[in-house]
Each structure stands twice: as structure tokens, then as C-alpha cells.
Amino acid sequence: MSADPLILAQDRFIAVWGQMSGAWGISRTMAEVHALLYITGEAMCTDDIMERLEISRGNASMSLRSLLDWGIVERAHKRGDRKEYFSAEQDVWALFRAIVRERIAREVDPLLASLHEIRDMTPTDRARRGEAIPEMLRDSAEAHNKRLDNMLEFFQVLERLGNRFVSPAGRGLQMAATLLSKMDPGGPRP
């Protein structure tokens, strides 16, 4: 059997990364496939992956497709070989920029849209000027709207931050480095 420490370390990495799958909002197998491609640094074909991870062809195919959709794995080809090969982004910062980009698109944007819709469901002074609303109802509606606005504001800031992190290639690292070096533990300096 394989007592090769490199293989063992790879397997352990794959297992650990698989456990993090929940944190990225992807399935365990997707994470394991990604881990395998990342940690070996090699381009592999479907059969290589099936064999190493002991998963079915269908599962491998679907996981690879999803990883391609997320933009963190890309197709590769070997000359004289009809098979498709796949390789993972090796730049860790680029990897996480891709993850943040997808999660903003899949989670934050739809949430903001929903929150705006909900915001439009309750009447306010602004919305209906002259119309009479029982005072008690108006008060609780205003408190409700304030709570919604606080949420909205938070996610708008989050989205702007995320887009800043994601946008031009390579900025994520600089942003983090700047943050950590320019701010002392007590907070930002003037």
C-alpha cells in the first residue's frame, strides 16, 4: 500500500478541504475534486479523479461541471489525447476572488433585491402622503422599516466591499495587506 508521505498528505488535505465544503456552499465531492486538483497541481482526466477519490463517473462529471461554473477549475488538453483534462487555479488569491465573486452573485445580489421588495410592502409617510394610517400601526411600521433599512445598509456595504476585493486582478492581496499594515489594533488612524 501507499506509505508515501506525499500521497498521505494529499489525502489528508483532500479530506480537510472536503469538510470545509459547507463553508463555501458547495458539495463535499466538489470540494474534494477541487482539493485533489489543487494539491497535486496536475491536470487530471475524469478517470484519474474517479479512481483517486473512488466516486462514480456521474458524480465526477457533475462536480467538474460545477467547478467550471464557479470558475475555479479549468479545462486543459493533452496533445494526441481526446480526453478532457482539468486543472485547478493555483493562485490562492485568485481562487478566493472567484469564490467571493460567485457568492455575491448567488447570495448577496438576490438578497438585496428581496429586501428592496420587502421594503416596498409597508406604507410610510413618504410613500402615501395624505392617507390616514392608524397611529399605532404607523409607529410599528416605521420601526419595521428602520430594521429593514439597517439590514439593507449592511449588505450594500458588504457588496461594495466584495466588489472592491474582486474587481481588478491582484487587488485582493493589496487590499488585505494595506488593511493589516495601515491599521493599528485599536482601529483606523486619521
Distance CA 124, CA 141 (A): 7
DSSP 163-180: HHHHSSTTHHHHHHHHHH
The span of 49-57, 112-120, 133-141, 171-179 binding DNA (CB under 7 A) equals 49-57
Which residues sit opposite 184 in a β-bridge?
187
* Phi, then psi, of 188 in degrees rounded to 5: -70, 145
125 touches DNA by CB under 7 A = no
The partner in contact with residue 46, picked from DNA, its own copies, none with C-beta cut-offs of 5 to 8 angstroms by kind, is DNA
Nearer to DNA, 45 or 152 (CB): 45
- 57 CA to centre of own chain: 26
- Location of C-alpha cell 470558475: 71
**By the criterion CB under 8 A, which residues form the site for its own copies?**
5-6, 8-10, 12-13, 16, 20, 22-23, 25, 38-39, 41, 90, 92-93, 96, 103, 107, 111, 114-115, 117-118, 121-123, 137, 140-141, 143-144, 147-148, 150-151, 153-154, 157, 160-161, 164, 167-168, 171, 174-180, 182-183, 185-188
Q: Report the run of H or E that residue 44 belongs to, with start and end.
A: strand 44-45
Task: List % helix, strand, coil for the chain (3-state, nearest 5).
Answer: 65, 5, 25
The partner in contact with residue 31, picked from DNA, its own copies, none with C-beta cut-offs of 5 to 8 angstroms by kind, is none
Query: Grid coordinates in use for 126?
Result: 413618504
Q: Which of 11, 13, 24, 27 binds DNA (CB under 7 A)?
A: 27
The span of 2-10, 41-49, 98-106, 112-120 binding DNA (CB under 7 A) equals 41-49
Interface residue list for DNA (CB under 7 A): 27-29, 45-47, 54-59, 61-65, 81-84
